[in-house]
Structure 1
């Protein structure tokens, strides 16, 4: 029997902690929190890794909130995983140099998978996470999205994963975007299929967690981790789940 960890997430915009509903920058909730202090609180509660999203860099490119992310990474002893805004190898290198342990690559995986495969070879599979946001398509297919969910990929999720996995991919963060920010539960069918097809990938679930029961449901799909953002910030899920490993289905 394997187990699932809960991974706390902070979305950063203009140096502060926010959440977007369905990825819409016009539907923002801003929290009166210090990002560094909140990151420390998650670490103190037992988190094994912290997930950060740089919303400014994701939308505009560049370094966005990299200074804030670097300050968080320096303040913590646990690994930091962060995504948003990587457009080229120089951007990837700046994030690694800033203390980020794993960089999440999203749109580039969809648009330029061969480029990402080259980076997997150069930097190693422990430094890169494929962050694939997907929506349901025809015939049970899952279609990866790019450019803030405004652009669909040319191939479905499993075809893309076959390429990335052959190139050395080990860590996958996958989000059913129809559930993101909705607090109604995760896309369990998606994660069951992923863990069944790719038992050697380290799969992180994301999107939809609104209460502790949702964590048990997603753990049963066999994923290694589940990212929780808004539900932790708003107390819908207690901090003590960060120190737990939830039983999950055999890989």
Structure 2
């Protein structure tokens, strides 16, 4: 099922500077689509168009009716003095009643292996822990489409591998479409069904192996693209997914 379809979409700034030109792409349910490209490639603008935060200068964007979108930003800016726990942060993201909301928070925290973070202060979380909580917040919208903008910023290399494995598992579990936007190469590529290489236009697209062997990909990213290893995804981790959250206080 197609969730979003771009047909000959271009975007030009009011100054006349072209940002994107002739973009054709399809985001499908149940698939992980990764959009990669160097700084200045137009990835942020493409996201804004996808989320309806900007309108194309030309072309058409078709959205599936009533599509629900969960969005995970690059980073979270919170006042470090703000006394907000993870649980309270998640409560503020939903209009549900207390009992239903508590059950949902517990369920989604469990799904991402983050029950142990429930009573932690948001300001004390590491980069990887914060990204997991932002992911929980997005999943609480029961999204048809999950959009993650540079989700691994501030996360160490093994944490990145865990995060992308988690995203792939959630796709299988929920069946939503997922869009990953990044300039990271090998880690995101390994988690993708479809890759779109962007540099103000679509340079190439297809499966990860197709894109990695395309001359445009090598031209943009050079030898480090060819050397990228996907083996990091073969390892296994224990995230305590079998331990349910409780509505009481969890212990670290």
Tell me which of the two structures has the higher relative contact order, counting C-alpha pairs closer than 8 angstroms and 6 or more residues apart.
Answer: 2
Larger Rg: 2
Give the TM bin, normalised by the shorter chain.
0.3 to 0.5
Structure with the bigger percentage of strand: 1
TM score, norm. by length of structure 1: 0.35
